[in-house]
A and B are shown apart, each in its own frame.
Chain A
Amino acid sequence: GNSVTQMEGPVTLSEEAFLTINCTYTATGYPSLFWYVQYPGEGLQLLLKATKADDKGSNKGFEATYRKETTSFHLEKGSVQVSDSAVYFCALGGKAAGNKLTFGGGTRVLVKP
């Protein structure tokens, strides 16, 4: 079946540090890949997505590239801010995944000033 594995947190960083959150997946077919962010007490917001191999999703300074050869979709940001403190979820979905989203375990990120 489909599964998503992402690095466990919490990840604690200083402001302006480089952030990487690893995400790998197993799936049949060619799923779409997503990163969602959840701020404290809120629901999930789509951060970025990629629908096919070698696509790069980007938003708010975050980037992730769909790597089919390594089945990965690592999230990166070059210079984090305190406001980036949240829980980040990697997910896969799409027609190949039966139109359902499968989430990774989530990675809590804490950015200190």
Chain B
Amino acid sequence: GAVVSQHPSWVICKSGTSVKIECRSLDFQATTMFWYRQFPKQSLMLMATSNEGSKATYEQGVEKDKFLINHASLTLSTLTVTSAHPEDSSFYICSASSGGLSGGNTIYFGEGSWLTVV
């Protein structure tokens, strides 16, 4: 079946540095990818929708200059957390769809990436 892979699975970075998380669709082309953030014991909050070849659409309250999203190809989207701070520490999950969610299309999730900012 379809697989979405994230890298790295775990990352620790120093406060003030930037860190990049990759999301790849391994056996299908993903025109749309989604980035979520999950705090411990909480639900997933959609951060942004990443569209191949165009700018990402950010949810209300998400700083687009802090969370840079690039979807340069149909199999790769990247999330860069710039000038990271301890409060950015979280579990980041991406998902990918080959098209819209209408009908039977399925969203596939990556394994998630744990970010710890120290």
Contacts and interface: CB of A to CB of B under 8 A. Distances in A.
B111 A42 contact: yes
A89 B100 contact: no
B31 to A, nearest CB: 11
Contact of A43 (B42, B43, B104, B112): B112
Interface in A23-79: 32, 34, 36, 42-46, 49, 51
Given A101-B95, A105-B42, 4 more contacts: A34-B107, A46-B106, A100-B49, A101-B34
Given A32-B101, A94-B101, A45 B43 contact: no
Contacts of B107: 34, 46, 93, 101
Interface of A: 32, 34, 36, 42-46, 49, 51, 89, 93-95, 97, 99-106, 108
Contacts of A97: 101
A106 B32 contact: no
A95 B109 CA distance: 19
Contacts, number: 60
B6 A89 contact: no
Contact of A106 (B43, B100, B110, B111): B43
Contacts of A103: 43-44
B43 A89 contact: yes
Chain B binding site: helix, strand, loop or mixed by DSSP? loop
Interface of B: 6, 32, 34, 41-44, 46, 49, 93, 95, 97, 100-104, 106-112
Nearest to A92: B101
A34 B105 CA distance: 12
Contact of A104 (B41, B43, B95): B43
Contact of B43 (A32, A93, A105): A105
A36 B95 CA distance: 12
B51 to A, nearest CB: 10
Contacts of A93: 101, 107
A63 B64 CA distance: 39
Contact of B109 (A44, A99, A100, A108): A44
29 contacts: A34-B107, A42-B112, A43-B110, A43-B112, A44-B44, A44-B93, A44-B95, A46-B106, A46-B107, A51-B104, A89-B43, A93-B101, A93-B107, A94-B101, A95-B100, A95-B101, A99-B100, A99-B101, A99-B102, A100-B34, A100-B46, A100-B49, A101-B34, A101-B46, A101-B95, A101-B101, A103-B43, A105-B42, A108-B41
